[in-house]
Amino acid sequence: LATASKQGPEDARRANRSLLLRALHHGGPTSRADLAKLTGLTPASVSSVVRDLLDQELVEELGTRVDGGVGKPATLVGIRPDSRYVVCLDLSEPEQFVAGLVDLTGKVVVRRSYARDERTGRRAETLVKRICHDLVADADRPLLGIGVASPGIVDDQGTVTTAAHLGWTDLDLGVRLSARASVPVHVVNDANAAALAELVFGAGEAQNLILVRVDEGVGAGLVLDGALFTGNRSAAGEIGHVVIEEHGEPCACGKRGCLETVVSEPLLGKRLGADGADEADVLGHAGSRLGVALSTVLGALDICDVVLSGPASVTSEAFRNATRDEIAARTMPNIADRLVVRPSTFGFDDVLIGAAALVLDRELGIH
């Protein structure tokens, strides 16, 4: 019979496990019978996979529920939130590296920060290794893995192609950290991490969204059809050096009027701190320029969920409204009428929690 798929039995088992974990992650505690209905798996398959997950203590039985029917009460099964921790690192802040232990619901259980003291290159890498070592030692639960969110471009293999302020070029960070770790290590760009946090742990059911992260520069993470989209060479979301003002300010990259000449944390800080600065003006201008850059992207993709991540100035209502109004003025009703420009669900922790989301996605297939 030609029913064998491209996947071997191990892959199929793993796929079934992901199906169930995804259903439990998004739907909460569920009976085996309902899991079979939700996933399309046979009741026998569900029972078998649940048995494995119970053995691994990834799920637990949570009492019974009477289902109205005449059968015996159904036992609910749910993910055990604290059965595994993820070691998470957020390397995107200029002054410090933030790290934490995050549970399977995205809750930060332990948080630490480490002054970077302007370390770059090998010294920054050594600090990252030390942080991983510390957090692994902190964990009083089995670890699902280590997730690292780095600034710059990060490829599928966990190599940081370029992260300017850390002085990293083609640093195979994933490989280097894996060599010392007893658990899987995954590395992702910081804005992509924050976008994954929305997808995996956010309240919405956003299958399509763009998360824009403003820090030293501007970057974005794109979720398309329910998955992170990374482009030809893992540089999707790199909108900081797209020109948005024809005769704008000179940019460090050599062009003029790049988005980063108008929107970045240091720049906003400077403008807001200037004598006689009008906060509404400053935030309104920067927000609307971001709207210019996003309008063609949203129009081309037919997506209307914009998430802003960064300092309070960027997630402020004044900034968000300016972005929203500019996009609405520049797009058709399919975007303008349904447009939402919202702050990221997890605030300053969004990148850290996104590093956990990456590990849940890669190790458990939860997204």
Residues near its own copies, by CB under 8 A: 1-7, 9, 12-13, 15-16, 19, 39-42, 44-46, 48-49, 52, 153, 207-208, 210, 220, 222, 224-225, 229-239, 241-244, 253, 255, 293-297, 299-304, 329-332, 334, 338
Closest separation in Å from C-beta 9 to its own copies = 5
Phi/psi-derived region of residue 79, left when phi > 0, alpha when psi is between -120 and 50, beta in every other case: beta
| CB closer to its own copies, 182 vs 232 | 232
Instruction: Read off the tokens for 231.
Output: 């482009």
Closest separation in Å from C-beta 159 to its own copies = 15
Q: Do 45 and 33 meet the contact criterion of CB atoms below 8 Å apart?
A: no
| CB closer to its own copies, 254 vs 273 | 254
Closest separation in Å from C-beta 331 to its own copies = 6
Residue for token pair 């232990």: 101
| 214 membership: H or E segment, kind and range | strand 209-214
Closest separation in Å from C-beta 305 to its own copies = 8
Q: Do 310 and 215 meet the contact criterion of CB atoms below 8 Å apart?
A: yes
| CB closer to its own copies, 153 vs 353 | 153
Instruction: Read off the tokens for 283.
Output: 């935030």
| CB closer to its own copies, 100 vs 257 | 257
Nearest in space to 291 (alpha carbons), one of 320, 249, 267, 316: 320
CA angle (105, 204, 47) in 5-degree steps = 50
Closest separation in Å from C-beta 178 to its own copies = 25
Strand-strand pairing, 108-115 and 96-103: antiparallel
Instruction: Read off the tokens for 107.
Output: 């809750």
| CB closer to its own copies, 41 vs 356 | 41
Give the integer Cα–Cα distance in Å for 207 and 80: 25
Closest separation in Å from C-beta 44 to its own copies = 7
Give the integer Cα–Cα distance in Å for 257 and 240: 10
| CB closer to its own copies, 170 vs 225 | 225
Instruction: Read off the tokens for 73.
Output: 């009460």
Closest separation in Å from C-beta 52 to its own copies = 8
Could you give the C-alpha distances from 75 to 67, 243, 268, in angstroms and in order? 10, 57, 54
| CB closer to its own copies, 133 vs 255 | 255
Rounded to a whole number, what is the distance in angstroms from the first to the last CA of the chain?
33
Q: Do 258 and 244 meet the contact criterion of CB atoms below 8 Å apart?
A: yes
* Ranges of H-type helices in 98-226: 121-138, 173-180, 190-201
| CB closer to its own copies, 286 vs 353 | 286
| CB closer to its own copies, 146 vs 293 | 293
Closest separation in Å from C-beta 315 to its own copies = 20
- Burial class (CB within 10 angstroms; exposed 0-12, middle 13-18, buried 19+) of 154: buried
Closest separation in Å from C-beta 278 to its own copies = 22
